Amino acid sequence: MKALQRDYGIRADGIVGPDTLGVLTLRPGDRARTLAVALERRRWLSRTPPATRIDVNSAAAELQYYRDGQLVDRRKVIVGEPDRETPPLGSPIYRLVANPTWTVPKSIPVSRATVRAKAMHRINGYWVQPSGPDNALGLVKFDMKNDQAIYLHDTAAPELFGRSQRHLSHGCVRVSDALGFAAMLADQEGVGDTWAKAQASGTYEIVDLPREIPVRLLYHNAFVADDGTVAFRTDPYGWNDAVAVQLGFADAKSRQAKAEAIDIGP
């Protein structure tokens, strides 16, 4: 039962609650609908994606890193919660930020208790959290070029990667062992020593990458797993329904995993 729950992004507690029951009662037609939507979403993508790229599947809360056409790394991520979804977009990483500060967007409420606990201070009307291991961005930020303030970053709450349901952020993507991932990218791009010095400084430092690394933020709740079988997840954002209707399926609501607002962060 827990394995089934993990497969569908439901809290793996072994209890047959409403979400688990919804998965258990899925019919062949429901799976056909999911597969049709997944194939349609893939049709939207380029048939020749960049050989070196990072793919984030927000439906499954997983990251895959391809280099020269080969899958070389896979890791868990935390993505946006429903109503604060991680948007589907293509946007490259162009620099690494060591020991980042975090400027809290106006859209995220900040309590007095949070200001005290996070040692925040005001700059130009915004709350800013200083660098350090307790920073909401952790110890590394992967800056990306887009107009939606979406990026990859570390986290001060790595224990959350142990959850089956990882749709918990305000839209940005938190990466498991982000420091290890940053070191790998920096080494492969020839700036490993520069990055290591910046990270060890303990202060805010920027390391430009010699070339941009494309990132695709995708949404696939049916995909081919490592063992060659088709894996399914829930539809956490409820995005499949509109596509399914356009494909001619009945307007049946998809199964959605429910997120819990348990921390403050991007």
Task: Report the alpha-carbon distance of residue 51 to residue 266 in Å, rounded.
Answer: 29
Domains of the chain in start order, with CATH, are: 2-246 (2.40.440.10)
Q: What is the DSSP letter of 87?
A: P
Q: In this structure, how many other beta carbons lie within 10 angstroms of the beta carbon of residue 127?
A: 18
Q: What percent of the chain has pLDDT over 90?
A: 73
Q: Which residue has the higher pLDDT, 8 or 103?
A: 103
Catalytic residue among 121, 153, 167, 220: 153
Q: Which of 8-12, 91-95, 114-118 has the lowest mean pLDDT?
A: 8-12
The closest alpha carbon to 50, from 258, 215, 244, belongs to 215
pLDDT value for 28: 81
CA gap 57, 64 in Å, rounded: 8
Cβ neighbourhood burial of 64 (10 Å; 0-12, 13-18, 19+): middle
Q: How far apart are the C-alpha atoms of 119 and 121, rounded to whole Å? A: 7
Kindly report the backbone phi and psi dihedral angles of residue 10, in degrees, each rounded to the nearest multiple of 5, phi listed first: -105, 150
The single-letter DSSP state of residue 131 is S
Biggest alpha carbon–alpha carbon distance for the chain:
57
Per the DSSP assignment, residues forming a β-bridge with 117 are none
pLDDT band for position 144 (50/70/90)?
very high
Catalytically annotated residue among 121, 167, 170, 172: 172
Mean pLDDT of 149-154: 97
pLDDT in tens, 25-68: 878 888 899 999 999 999 999 999 999 999 999 999 999 999 99
Least confident of 142-151, 166-175, 217-226, 243-252: 243-252
Q: What is the pLDDT of residues 230-265, one digit of tens each?
A: 888 889 999 999 999 999 997 766 666 666 666 777
- Tell me: the pLDDT tens digits for 207-216? 999 999 999 9
Q: Does the annotation mark 172 as catalytic?
A: yes
CB 147 within 8 A of CB 52: no
Give residue 190's pLDDT. 98
Q: Kindly state the percentage of the chain with pLDDT values over 70.
A: 95
Q: Confirm if 176 and 185 have CB atoms less than 8 A apart.
A: no
Q: What is the pLDDT of residues 159-203, one digit of tens each?
A: 999 988 899 999 999 999 999 999 999 999 999 999 999 999 999
What was the pLDDT predicted at 255?
60
Return d(Cα 172, Cα 144) in angstroms, integer: 11
Give the chain's radius of gyration (CA, Å): 19
- In this structure, what DSSP letter does residue 164 have? S
